């Protein structure tokens, strides 16, 4: 799960990770009040959306007076912010973070995440702050320092020192950065985060070390342990159809294609999307109905898929292992009647009681295109979208 | 005849009295799996016959701890049906009790738990399959997990996959063509798993009763590339492969916790390329897994006695021609 920068910083503060003084604002007036409360003479007005590249897109602006805070806040709030991560449609800015301005001496990068190749967490640091880390990794991998963390002992002092020496830090900045790294790892571990990325991490002219930005993602599987973080979910940052699907316990992801699909199992769902493309269409979604493919879930699936106006056909692909295909077929017939589906539906049910299921579909009086094998299903999809 | 599990495997079911555990224990017993014990803390000392919905054909003794189950029944393998919140504990208990192979079916175990579990079992030399997997089956001998037993056929093709139902799909395609399987391993869809493609490929490569391998990967991570590199160097048996998620968008988790393209890495295209470079017969459509394997096996059979050539750079979709010139035999 993703959260906003200001929420991430609130959490970091609790774990003694230094962040600039700041406050969230939902209106222009709140923005000015926040600036007054923070004090000083320079502020930064930052758009809060779940995507990176906000600065380049015009979502981060400096203000030298309260009047300027008001002007910048008015410009950014409600704007459609387009960055390389939002796609061409961009995101509407609904929240702002007002922060104190900093005397930045250096910008660096630090990130903590799981290293899948050795099944350990890894702390990465780089002198190349403010740049996309993937770019650094691709072009100058030697500029990324890494320390793998032993899960039993956590990040050690010597590892933090090694990273800070590697970054070329000295004096107060060195001491503060070591403390920063240790605190950040504690925060990462204690919150069950899947990513804690500070880009940039800044050293001020006074030698302070602070998180100028904060990207914290949580492991969805661990959210049950952290109900307070689960509440930070911002539904306005998500696709409305995906929000609706998650309310029905369906695993749905909206895509841009013209053929909807409904499948049991994530791997088979991805494979079915691939088949749609090979058949000449493009998948309109990913949808895993999971182990319980019944009338209720299928109906919910139909309703969500059909709300997408670009869908011209639907492919249902269920492999009945433990699930019986005849039951799934009954569910599909019932759901199709309830939802009144007007576009072609290709159905492929395989596994337990597949023959019975085919009979049920063929005798339903509804115009299903029933396929026996995956290959046949692909061919029927091709003809369905050609029609 | 197989890897990791066979008819001699002595299985303990952790979480046997839960509804999932009961349902699948019944299926495993009926398949012929040698289920010797169950563990549910607090229910030790009883004989479990299943519940009203799912009755076992024979009673299974239940113990409070895995250690006791191992001591009394000589169980050597464990399967875990414990809910996600307690699954990490269950795996570590098995590893600490002398179990050598743990199969974790449970989905949704937090990554922070798995990081610790992984270190814990490595230290004890215990192998794990999963989590978030369908399990492992040696057809006709031993089924451990939740896969439908009836689609399988004993034989000589080894299958490794990150997915559940997509694995069944591939198995069905093989069985429909009369091609049997030595062992099918569902390694799981999580970012941290106990047995990776590389581990399973090594086992199949060594197994005298496996002639060919099917490898079904998906987007995310680099485990397929890692295995492909090994196959290129050390595997002479033919490998047929597929990667699910060619149309998956970057940055989105496609159901499985591990199925995500992040920072431009872990795409289907780069995995398929690595596999092709390793001489693996890569199919673009999952519907072609069975027929490609059939063709590969036939051509091998036809060239039996002749010098076997490495399958490098041969496109599976191209019609198979007899090699125009035979490779020099290196006697």
The CA distance from A130 to A213, in Å, is 9
B36 vs A: CB within 8 A? no
- The region of weakest confidence among A57-66, A136-145, B178-187 is A136-145
Nearest to A151 among B116, B251, B257 (CB): B116
pLDDT value of residue A369: 92
- The region of weakest confidence among A69-73, A101-105, A371-375 is A371-375
Does pLDDT of A92 surpass 50?
A: yes
Contacts of A42 (CB under 8 A, 6+ apart): A62, A63, A64, A100, A101
3-state secondary structure of B104: strand
B30 vs A: CB within 8 A? no
How confident is residue B291, by pLDDT bands cut at 50, 70 and 90?
Answer: very high
Predicted TM-score (pTM) of this structure: 0.91
B180 vs A: CB within 8 A? no
What is the pLDDT of chain B when averaged over all its residues? 91
B14 burial type by CB count under 10 A (0-12 exposed, 13-18 middle, 19+ buried): buried
- Rg from Cα positions in chain A: 26
Query: Taking residues B213-237, what's their average pLDDT?
Result: 97
Nearest to B121 by CA among B39, B223, B190, B193: B193
pLDDT value of residue A141: 87
Nearest to A374 among B119, B147, B286 (CB): B286
Nearest residue in chain B measured CA to CA from A277: B247
Write the secondary structure of chain A as one string of H (helix), E (strand) and C (coil): CECCHHHHHHHHHHCCCCCCCEEEECCHHHHHHHHHHHCCCCEEEEECCCCCCCCCCCCEEEECCHHHHHHHHHHHCCCEECCCCCCCCCEECCCEEEEECCCEEEEEEEEEEEECCCCEEEEEEECCCCCCHHHHHHHCHHHEEEEEECCCCCCCHHHHHHHHHHCCCCHHHHHHHHHHHHHHHHHHHHCCEEEEEEEEEEEECCCCEEECCCEEEECHHHHHHCHHHHCCCCHHHCCHHHHHHHHCCCEEEECCCCEEEEECCHHHHHHHHHHHHHCCCCECEEEECCCCCCHHHHHHHHHHHHCCCCCCEEEEEEEECCCCHHHHHHHHHHHHHHHCCCCCEEEEEEECCHHHHHHHHHCCCCCEEEECCHHHHHHHHHHHHHC
Residue-wise pLDDT for B171-214, tens only, equals: 999 999 999 999 999 999 999 999 999 999 999 999 999 999 99
To test the contact with chain B by mutation, choose from A266, A268, A283 the residue with the greatest count of B C-beta atoms within 10 A, namely A266
pLDDT value of residue A292: 67
To test the contact with chain B by mutation, choose from A271, A278, A323 the residue with the greatest count of B C-beta atoms within 10 A, namely A271
The residue ranking higher by pLDDT, A141 or A4, is A4
Nearest residue in chain B measured CA to CA from A188: B112
pLDDT value of residue A40: 94
pLDDT value of residue B306: 56
> Active site includes B152?
no
Nearest to B168 among A257, A278, A321 (CB): A321
Nearest to A277 among B85, B223, B247 (CB): B247
What is the pLDDT of chain A when averaged over all its residues? 93
B264 vs A: CB within 8 A? yes
How confident is residue A344, by pLDDT bands cut at 50, 70 and 90?
Answer: very high
Does pLDDT of B308 surpass 50?
A: no
Does pLDDT of A189 surpass 80?
A: yes
The nearest CA of chain A is from the CA of B329 a distance in Å of 39
* Length of chain B (residues): 331
The residue ranking higher by pLDDT, B325 or A76, is A76
CB contact under 8 A, A374 and B169: yes
Nearest to A113 by CA among B260, B91, B219, B88: B260
Q: Residues of chain A with pLDDT > 90: what percent?
A: 75
> Helical H runs in B250-288?
268-277
pLDDT value of residue B302: 83
Does pLDDT of B311 surpass 60?
A: no
CB contact under 8 A, B119 and A274: no
CB contacts, 8 Å: A286 with chain B:
248, 252, 254-255
Query: Taking residues A234-256, what's their average pLDDT?
Result: 91
Residue-wise pLDDT for B129-154, tens only, equals: 999 999 999 999 999 999 999 999 99
Active site residues of A: 109, 197
Does pLDDT of B309 surpass 60?
A: no
Query: Taking residues A279-300, what's their average pLDDT?
Result: 86
Residue-wise pLDDT for B73-95, tens only, equals: 999 999 999 999 999 999 999 99
How confident is residue A132, by pLDDT bands cut at 50, 70 and 90?
Answer: confident
pLDDT value of residue B331: 36
Query: Taking residues B86-115, what's their average pLDDT?
Result: 97
Residue-wise pLDDT for B36-75, tens only, equals: 999 999 999 999 999 999 999 999 999 999 999 999 999 9
Residues 214-253 of B with CB under 8 A from A: 216, 218-219, 221-223, 226, 242, 244-249, 251-253
Does pLDDT of B244 surpass 60?
A: yes
CB contact under 8 A, B148 and A352: yes
Residue that the structure tokens 């093709």 belong to:
B157
ipTM of this model? 0.92
The nearest CA of chain A is from the CA of B1 a distance in Å of 25
pLDDT value of residue B39: 97
């Amino acid at each position: 799960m993703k959260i906003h920068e200001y929420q991430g910083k609130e959490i970091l503060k609790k774990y003694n990770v230094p962040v600039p003084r700041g406050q969230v604002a939902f209106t222009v007036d709140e923005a000015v009040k926040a600036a007054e409360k923070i004090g000083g003479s320079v502020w930064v007005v930052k758009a809060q959306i779940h995507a990176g590249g906000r600065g380049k897109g015009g979502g981060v602006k400096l203000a030298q007076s309260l009047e300027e805070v008001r002007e910048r806040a008015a410009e950014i709030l409600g704007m459609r912010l387009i960055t390389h991560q939002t796609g061409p449609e961009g995101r509407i800015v609904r929240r702002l973070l007002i922060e104190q301005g900093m005397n930045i001496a250096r910008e660096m990068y630090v990130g903590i995440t799981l290293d899948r190749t050795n099944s350990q967490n890894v702390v990465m640091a780089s002198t190349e702050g403010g740049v996309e880390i993937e770019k650094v990794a691709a072009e100058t991998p030697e500029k990324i320092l890494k320390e793998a963390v032993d899960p039993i002992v956590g990040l050690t002092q010597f590892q933090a020192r090694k990273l800070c020496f590697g970054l070329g830090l000295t004096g107060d900045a060195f001491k503060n950065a070591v403390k920063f790294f240790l605190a950040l790892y504690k925060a990462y571990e204690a919150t069950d985060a899947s990513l804690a990325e500070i880009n940039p991490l800044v050293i001020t002219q006074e030698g302070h070390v602070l998180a100028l930005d904060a990207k914290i993602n949580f492991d969805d599987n661990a959210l049950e342990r952290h109900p307070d973080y689960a509440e930070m979910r911002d539904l306005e940052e998500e696709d409305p159809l995906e929000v609706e699907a998650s309310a029905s316990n369906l695993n749905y992801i909206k895509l841009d294609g013209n053929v909807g699909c409904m499948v049991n199992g994530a791997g088979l769902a991805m494979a079915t999307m691939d088949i749609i493309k090979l058949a000449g269409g493009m998948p309109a979604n990913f949808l895993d109905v999971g182990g319980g493919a019944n009338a209720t879930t299928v109906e919910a699936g139909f309703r969500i898929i059909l709300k997408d106006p670009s869908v011209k056909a639907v492919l249902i692909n269920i492999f009945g292992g433990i699930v019986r295909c005849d039951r799934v077929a009954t569910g599909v017939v019932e759901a199709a009647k309830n939802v009144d589906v007007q576009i072609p539906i290709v159905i492929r049910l395989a596994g337990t009681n597949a023959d019975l299921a085919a009979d049920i579909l063929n005798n339903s009086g509804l115009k299903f295109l029933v396929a026996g094998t995956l290959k046949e299903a692909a061919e029927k999809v091709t003809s369905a979208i050609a029609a | 005849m197989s890897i990791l599990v066979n008819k001699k495997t002595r299985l303990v079911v952790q979480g046997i009295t839960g509804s999932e555990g009961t349902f699948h224990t019944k299926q495993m017993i009926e398949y012929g799996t040698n289920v010797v014990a169950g563990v549910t803390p607090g229910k030790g000392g009883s004989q479990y016959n299943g519940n009203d919905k799912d009755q076992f054909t024979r009673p299974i003794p239940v113990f409070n701890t895995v250690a006791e189950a191992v001591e009394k029944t000589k169980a050597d393998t464990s399967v875990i049906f414990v809910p996600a919140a307690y699954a990490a504990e269950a795996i570590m208990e098995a590893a600490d009790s002398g179990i050598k192979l743990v199969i974790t079916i449970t989905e949704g175990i937090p990554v922070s738990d798995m990081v610790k579990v992984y270190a814990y079992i490595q230290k004890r030399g215990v192998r794990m399959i999963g989590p978030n997997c369908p399990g492992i089956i040696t057809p006709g001998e031993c089924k451990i997990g939740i896969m439908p037993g009836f689609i399988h056929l004993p034989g000589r093709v080894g299958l490794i996959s990150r997915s559940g139902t997509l694995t069944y799909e591939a198995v069905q395609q093989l069985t429909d063509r009369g091609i049997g399987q030595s062992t099918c391993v569902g390694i799981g869809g999580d970012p941290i798993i106990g047995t990776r493609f590389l581990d399973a490929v090594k086992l199949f490569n060594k197994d005298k009763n496996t002639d060919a391998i099917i490898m079904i990967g998906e987007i995310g991570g680099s485990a397929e590339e890692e295995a492909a590199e090994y196959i290129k160097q050390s595997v002479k048996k033919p490998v047929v492969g597929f990667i699910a998620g060619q149309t998956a968008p970057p940055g989105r988790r496609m159901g499985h916790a591990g199925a995500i393209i992040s920072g431009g890495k872990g795409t289907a295209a780069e995995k398929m390329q690595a596999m092709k470079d390793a001489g693996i017969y890569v199919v673009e459509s999952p519907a072609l897994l069975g027929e490609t394997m059939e063709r590969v096996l036939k051509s091998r059979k036809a060239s039996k006695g002749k010098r076997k050539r490495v399958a490098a750079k041969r496109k599976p979709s191209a019609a198979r021609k007899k090699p125009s010139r035979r490779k020099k035999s290196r006697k």
